[in-house]
Amino acid sequence: MFLLDEDLWFPPVEYASEEGIIAIGGDLSAERLLLAYKSGIFPWFNEGEPIVWYSPDPRMVLFPEKLKVSKSMKQLIKSGKFTVTFNKDFAGVIANCKDIYREGQGGTWITKEMQHAYIKLHKEGYAKSVEVWQHNELVGGLYGIDLGSVFCGESMFSKVSNTSKLAFIMLVESLKKQRYKLIDCQVYTDHLASLGAEEIPRSEFLKYL
């Protein structure tokens, strides 16, 4: 594990621990965050802890053409109950991702410092959001980093059942039309696997970056 200082660099990801930890320290400047994502690395830590940088192997990704949409979700999309927008309320999305209760978790990993850092990246055009609205209320969404042909998903939230899934599906459908190569989902979850995401070797993931 490497200790970062103010210099802008990351060690080769092959030095990551079994858990995927590659380094600690540094900062959340826009320049460092972009270098991290382009290197297959992302920050993940709790409030009051030093910044921890990860590059897990294998890597959970979704190839847009492999998206799985269940019959119930297709019906939900057709129902017109929700309105989906892109980049309309990034600050609202990350605030909800930060504050939403998640079963089995004692707190959020989206610190205030991280929240401000990603809002800055959004203003610079790198961080993007998807919003799901019901009666003009923000009820679901997600955000991540857009690298051009790869979208790095960061977090999602639902206040109404299936709205984060709806945001994800609409994002993938949009990226598919733009011929994106893949969506980085970082680590395995049953939820993402049900949507068609899969684990691939980190070395293969890095080739797409």
Q: Are residues 89 and 9 in the same domain?
A: no
Predicted local distance difference test score (pLDDT) of residue 86: 98
Q: What does the mean pLDDT of the chain come to? A: 95
Specify whether the backbone of 179 is left (phi greater than 0), alpha (psi in -120 to 50) or beta. left
Q: Is the pLDDT of residue 39 over 80?
A: yes
CA distances from 51 to 48, 100, 121, 167, 197 (A): 9, 22, 18, 28, 27
Q: Are residues 118 and 49 in the same domain?
A: no
Length of the chain: 209
Q: Is the pLDDT of residue 106 over 50?
A: no
Q: Are residues 8 and 46 in the same domain?
A: yes
Q: Are residues 43 and 140 in the same domain?
A: no
Please compute the mean of the pLDDT values over residues 55-71 and round it to a whole number. 98
Select the more confidently predicted residue: 119 or 100.
119
The domain that holds 109 is classified in CATH as 3.40.630.70
Q: Is the pLDDT of residue 184 over 80?
A: yes
Q: What is the rounded CA–CA span in Å between residue 113 and residue 202?
A: 28
Q: Is the pLDDT of residue 107 over 50?
A: no
Q: Are residues 100 and 165 in the same domain?
A: yes
Domain of residue 38: give its range: 2-57
Please compute the mean of the pLDDT values over residues 54-79 and round it to a whole number. 97
The domain that holds 10 is classified in CATH as 3.30.70.3550
Q: Are residues 45 and 98 in the same domain?
A: no
Query: Reduced to 3 states, what is the DSSP secondary structure of residue 23?
Result: strand
Label residue 19 by pLDDT band (50, 70, 90).
very high
Q: Are residues 38 and 77 in the same domain?
A: no
- Percentage of residues in the chain with pLDDT exceeding 70? 97
Q: Are residues 21 and 100 in the same domain?
A: no
The reported pTM is: 0.94
Please compute the mean of the pLDDT values over residues 74-90 and round it to a whole number. 97
User: What is the number of helices (H) and of strands (E) in the chain?
Assistant: 7, 11
Q: What is the rounded CA–CA span in Å between residue 140 and residue 149?
A: 24
Looking at the structure of the chain, the number of domains it has is 2
Burial 118-144 (b: 16+ CB within 10 A, else e): bbebbeeebbbbbbbbeeeebbbbbbb
Q: What is the rounded CA–CA span in Å between residue 34 and residue 55?
A: 14
Label residue 102 by pLDDT band (50, 70, 90).
low
Predicted local distance difference test score (pLDDT) of residue 100: 84
Predicted local distance difference test score (pLDDT) of residue 103: 58
Please compute the mean of the pLDDT values over residues 116-126 and round it to a whole number. 98
Please compute the mean of the pLDDT values over residues 76-95 and round it to a whole number. 97
Predicted local distance difference test score (pLDDT) of residue 105: 46
Please compute the mean of the pLDDT values over residues 36-44 and round it to a whole number. 97
Beta strand pairing call for 182-186 and 59-62: antiparallel
CA distances from 139 to 42, 100, 131, 161, 168 (A): 26, 11, 8, 9, 13
Last residue of a domain, one of 10, 28, 57: 57
Q: Are residues 155 and 176 in the same domain?
A: yes
Please compute the mean of the pLDDT values over residues 69-79 and round it to a whole number. 96
- Non-local (6+) Cβ contacts of 101 within 8 A are none
Residue 86, number of CB atoms within 10 A of its CB: 14
Angle at which helix 30-38 crosses helix 112-123, to 10 degrees, equals 80
Contact in structure between 182 and 163 (CB atoms under 8 Å): no
Predicted local distance difference test score (pLDDT) of residue 1: 83
